[in-house]
Structure 1
């Protein structure tokens, strides 16, 4: 009898110890909350580091950089633009109607929106919009939302086109954030200031005649500064659309390391 009680007690103690071990194992599986937190932080960092692009029309697009919505030359339907999210930054490149529309700006500019513009464009803004505007001339830069923004010259070289975009009036832009460098050409030809750019991750390059440059010149410039990824945009000219497929063919044939991303910038246009 005593022996039976002894065996029973031993069994109970053994079961209890095993159960405790099992509980400890379970708490170790749950406790890697630290590693799960790191994963979430990595995901947030990746999200912050990502660049997304929403083509709207011609010269107008929205880019998400450093978790901020940057609207470039917003023209078109203001209600459609506002559907894309908060308007954190507006970059304006030039005074022409396909880049600048005062009514649209008044509609989409929010209380916290920051506008960046060259002097020629700023002179056309209302007093209210000017209070939210930083004027950048060619070569000048500023930091905003942990994004470095530098004004790059944009102008025409060909004699027959110089009147369209004179040197010093408009801005291209070079943006830097999270070790990424993004170039937005604005209306320009393949000027030395563009060809001399280095370590560009993403570029938006215009190509339309007679206003900016032909496809061949745009491709040659891209090959010159050896970027990683390029979006042809602003490619509707006086006689229709530039051949962006030919642009891609020239670039990738000569440097297959450059990714050419063709998006539909004219999805709502009758002209294709």
Structure 2
């Protein structure tokens, strides 16, 4: 399954399965076609209309929080934490994503992460979040895509605690290397989880 997950930097993943799913497209270098685009929140490095347009087809469906809606001419599904939907045969759970000890991503905004099932695997994309209590309730996660850079999201140390709560089969660090954070954060995360959870550090695709 890992060969089907392409990290394009920051929070942007291309996941290839029954459908082509993109998460938070940002700094897309070449046009492509997405079946489903998952948007976690409205900040420019997660909700970038110019980048989204590079992936749109007449059939692309964008799943997004309410404050992102109506800004792009496309098929939209507006979601909030707690929602469960099926899009083009893909099961998607919408989960909370927020800060607990900083002000950038307030819980009351209703911004989100997603757990979606593709190729028989449950993948969690966290969005911009701190280590939050809801993570203990996420079940049967095969692959967790977790921010590790601190400043706007949880630190690598906090991400280690999140991974231990979520218990994925594989954890992949993200949200470093472009705006904040460095590969050192990813390596720290991997080192601290050694013997507990398999960590795969992906190289950004060109």
TM-score, normalisation: structure 2: 0.90
Can you give the 5+ residue segments of structure 2 that lack an aligned partner in the other structure? Answer: none
Determine the structure 2 residue equivalent to 1:172: 113
**Aligned residue number for residue 62 of structure 1:** 14
Shift of 1:204: 0.3
State whether residues 208 and 237 of structure 1, in contact with CA within 8 Å, keep that contact through their aligned partners in structure 2: no
Question: Is 1:226 the equivalent of 2:164?
Answer: no
The corresponding residue for 2:53 is 106
For 1:160-199, list aligned pairs within 5 A: 161=102, 163-167=103-107, 168-177=109-118, 179-199=120-140
RMSD over aligned CA atoms reads: 2.1
2:65 to 115, 118, 132: 118
Shift of 1:91: 0.5
How many residues are matched? 204
Match status 1:244 vs 2:196: no
Q: Unpaired segments of 5 or more residues in structure 1?
A: 1-48
Report how far residue 50 of structure 1 moved.
8.0
C-alpha distance in 1 between matches for 2:161 and 2:42: 27
CA contact under 8 A between 2:150 and 2:181: conserved in structure 1?
no
Please state which structure has a larger fraction of its residues in helix: 1
Cα distance in 2 between the residues matched to 1:247 and 1:232: 8
SS of the residue 1:117 aligns to? strand
1:202 paired residue number: 143
2:28 alignment counterpart: 77
Counterparts of 1:4-153 in structure 2, within 5 Å, are 52-65=4-17, 67-77=18-28, 80-82=30-32, 86-123=33-70, 125-126=71-72, 128-129=73-74, 132-153=75-96
Compare CA radii of gyration and give the structure with the larger one.
Answer: 1
Instruction: Return the TM-score normalized by structure 1.
Output: 0.69
**Deviation by residue 1:152-193 (Cα, 9 ceiling, x = unmatched):** 1000011xx1x2001143110011245421111000011111
Higher relative contact order, structure no. (Cα contacts within 8 Å, ≥ 6 residues apart)? 2
Q: Equivalences for 1:243-262 in 2 at 5 Å?
A: 243-253=185-195, 255=196, 258-262=197-201
Residue in structure 1 matched with residue 203 of structure 2 by the alignment: 264
1:81-123, CA deviations, whole angstroms, 9 ceiling, x for partnerless residues? 41xxx31110111111111111222332110101100111115
> Per the alignment, in what secondary structure is the counterpart of residue 190 of structure 2?
helix
